[in-house]
């Protein structure tokens, strides 16, 4: 991975079988081979260049074999760019009431029909190889934070053992495999996890198990402690993060890749991101506002007035969530482009400070203003 560094932040290029990507970049989440409400043509127009899908969900429906016979994920969903598949490890956390974890595997009760599903490291690799994304993730054990040190250590150690099994099971030469650093908020456990993963050997390294209840300051402290351990020449991916402010801090620590559901989830709920903070389109103040969400934005949503977009949400028209999701994804692409440019021009610290100030200026949600 080629790179240019400035104050800890780095810009570079990540090469995949479906094209090269300029880093840092953000991946929209296409859990079930679709970004909610956004078709692939409009997704490409947002500036997105790589998307994330989920192996667990696609294993349940339609099944990796159906995807494989159609030429893999890209052909199946009509996306011609790079893709990454998560292993199902996050579902160990998010579906905790339906999961039993043993040394051998994570044992799920399907959230669709209640059937028993066993997801071992070897099975996760088989599924991800059949899906055919450019990057596969190791299966890991994610726990909520805060948790006891004993519980965090147990999950981290299991993740390391599963990492070895994933590496040994992974056979596809045209698919990169990333390891995932675990260890909660315990600095020594994070160090141990990172060092062991480097010894095992992966194509890239992710920081997992954050944004699961610990709060931003704890997340930032964890990043500051673990990032210096990771190899400079390998891509670094912060999983499931998210807020623009969190991305600014993580980029300053040398993170290259991000994903999060926030742009589309917030878009579906009438919250729009701008460089001057968030806008809550249901608020009554926008009922007569003829300007766009953000001046200078060329997305499909910003061809319309805030007044019209507000009307769509109040009328429960599906176009509202679609348009604001498109705007938010476009915003994230613009934000990553600004950060990359600032790194290359050695202005990152200045740009970061300016963005931190401007992004903090979002609208509060007021019951007096919100008549929806």
For tokens 């159609």, the residue is 70
CB atoms within 10 A of CB 23: 24
Is 134 one of the catalytic residues? no
Give, in order, the Cα–Cα distances in Å from 266 to each of 130, 139, 150, 171, 232: 32, 28, 35, 38, 34
Instruction: Return d(Cα 162, Cα 13) in angstroms, integer.
Output: 29
Q: Which residues pair with 277 in a beta bridge?
A: 274
Instruction: Return d(Cα 90, Cα 155) in angstroms, integer.
Output: 13
How far from the centroid of its chain's Cα atoms is residue 296's Cα? 26
Residues in the chain: 372
Sequence-distant (6+) residues with CB within 8 A of 100 are 106, 107
What's the DSSP call for residue 240? T
Sequence-distant (6+) residues with CB within 8 A of 101 are 92, 107, 141, 158
Q: Catalytic residue among 86, 153, 246, 256, which? A: 86
Strand order in the sheet with 2-6: 2-6, 9-16, 19-23
Is residue 133 within 8 Å of 58, Cβ to Cβ? no
Q: Catalytic residue among 168, 259, 349, 371, which? A: 259
Sequence-distant (6+) residues with CB within 8 A of 247 are 24, 26, 241, 258, 335, 336, 339
Instruction: Return d(Cα 19, Cα 179) in angstroms, integer.
Output: 22
Is residue 165 within 8 Å of 173, Cβ to Cβ? no
Sequence-distant (6+) residues with CB within 8 A of 102 are none
Largest CA distance in the chain: 61
Is 80 one of the catalytic residues? no
Which residues are designated catalytic?
A: 86, 259
């Amino acid at each position: 991975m080629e790179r240019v560094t400035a104050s800890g932040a780095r810009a570079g290029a990540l090469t995949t079988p479906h094209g090269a990507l300029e880093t840092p970049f953000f991946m929209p989440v296409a859990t079930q081979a679709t970004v909610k409400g956004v078709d692939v043509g409009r997704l490409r127009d947002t500036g997105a260049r790589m998307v994330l899908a989920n192996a667990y969900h696609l294993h349940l429906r339609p099944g990796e074999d159906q995807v494989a016979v159609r030429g893999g994920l890209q052909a199946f969903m009509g996306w011609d760019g790079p893709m990454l598949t998560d292993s199902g490890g996050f579902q160990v956390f998010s579906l905790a009431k339906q999961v039993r974890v043993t040394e051998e595997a994570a044992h799920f009760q399907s959230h669709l029909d209640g059937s028993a599903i066993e997801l071992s490291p070897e099975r996760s690799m088989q599924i991800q190889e059949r899906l055919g994304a450019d990057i596969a993730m190791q299966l890991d054990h994610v726990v909520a934070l805060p948790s006891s040190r004993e519980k965090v250590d147990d999950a981290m150690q299991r993740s390391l053992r599963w990492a070895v099994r994933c590496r040994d099971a992974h056979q596809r030469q045209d698919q990169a495999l990333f390891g995932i650093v675990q260890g909660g908020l315990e600095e020594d456990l994070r160090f141990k996890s990172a060092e062991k993963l480097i010894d095992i050997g992966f194509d890239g390294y992710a920081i997992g198990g954050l944004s699961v209840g610990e709060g931003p300051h704890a997340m930032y402290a964890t990043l500051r402690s673990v990032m210096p351990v990771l190899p400079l020449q390998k891509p670094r991916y912060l999983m499931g993060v998210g807020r623009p402010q969190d991305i600014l801090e993580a980029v300053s620590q040398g993170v290259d890749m991000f994903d999060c559901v926030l742009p589309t989830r917030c878009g579906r709920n009438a919250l729009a991101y701008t460089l001057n903070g968030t806008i809550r389109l249901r608020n009554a103040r926008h009922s007569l506002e003829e300007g766009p969400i953000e001046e200078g934005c060329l997305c499909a949503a910003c061809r319309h007035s805030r007044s019209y977009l507000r009307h769509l949400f109040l009328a429960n028209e599906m176009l509202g969530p679609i348009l604001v999701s498109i705007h938010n994804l476009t915003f994230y692409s613009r934000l990553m482009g600004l950060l990359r440019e600032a790194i290359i021009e050695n202005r990152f610290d200045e740009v970061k400070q300016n963005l931190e100030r401007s992004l903090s200026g979002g609208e509060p949600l007021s019951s007096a203003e919100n008549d929806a």
